């Protein structure tokens, strides 16, 4: 199990050999309200939270994408077993008379990539979205057990 040096004690993808994930060492520090818009949009890439668990049957990815419609999200498997989840969260339109006191929700494009293990059935990937949570299920090949053949003993 990987030791989490920064964060909430959950397993981190920082040491995960299958991950092509982006690690943000400043995650959780400060507020986004005082950061320029372009920088806030960039942080959307690193701040998309995704859990990856493995069951006996599949690899399951869950991403929190509140306020994003399923039409705004792309799930793809590319170049040799790389799962890519991407999309864009639109920025709220500003009215002339609006006075913003705090802006913490990120907007802009996001993309996360994960290298899938050899046992992933990449032609059977399924995705669903419910209540702002994207679930991507990647079935696994059945583990082949060595064939054992009993040999009759003569004599």
pLDDT in tens, 25-73: 555 555 444 555 545 444 454 567 899 999 999 999 999 998 888 999 9
Radius of gyration of the chain (CA): 21
Q: Percent of the chain beyond pLDDT 90?
A: 37
Rounded CA separation 139/8 (Å) = 29
Q: Which of 23, 14, 51, 38 is nearest to 106 (CA)?
A: 38
What per-residue confidence (pLDDT) applies to 36?
A: 53
Rounded CA separation 129/83 (Å) = 17
Please state the rounded mean pLDDT for residues 84-100: 83
Domain ranges of the chain: 68-91+107-143
Rounded CA separation 86/32 (Å) = 22
Fold that domain 68-91+107-143 belongs to in CATH: Immunoglobulin-like (2.60.40)
CB atoms within 10 A of CB 88: 16
Tokens of 46: 């690193």
What per-residue confidence (pLDDT) applies to 26?
A: 52
What rounded mean pLDDT belongs to the chain? 77
Q: Quickly state the pLDDT bin for 113 (edges 50, 70, 90).
A: very high
- Print burial letters for 121-131: b (CB count within 10 Å at least 16), e (below 16): eeeebebebee
């Amino acid at each position: 199990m990987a030791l989490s040096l920064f964060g909430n004690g959950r397993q981190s993808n920082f040491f995960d050999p299958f991950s092509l994930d982006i690690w943000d060492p400043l995650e959780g520090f400060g507020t986004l309200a005082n950061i320029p818009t372009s920088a806030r949009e960039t942080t959307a890439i690193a701040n998309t939270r995704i859990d990856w668990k493995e069951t006996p049957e599949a690899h399951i990815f869950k991403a929190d994408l509140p306020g994003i419609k399923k039409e705004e999200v792309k799930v793809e498997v590319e170049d040799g077993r790389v799962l890519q989840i991407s999309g864009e969260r639109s920025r709220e339109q500003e009215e002339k008379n609006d006075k913003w006191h705090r802006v913490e929700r990120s907007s802009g494009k996001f993309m996360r990539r994960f290298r899938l293990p050899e046992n992933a059935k990449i032609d059977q990937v399924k995705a669903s979205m419910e209540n702002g949570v994207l679930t991507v299920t990647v079935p696994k090949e059945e583990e082949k057990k060595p064939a054992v053949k009993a040999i009759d003993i003569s004599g």
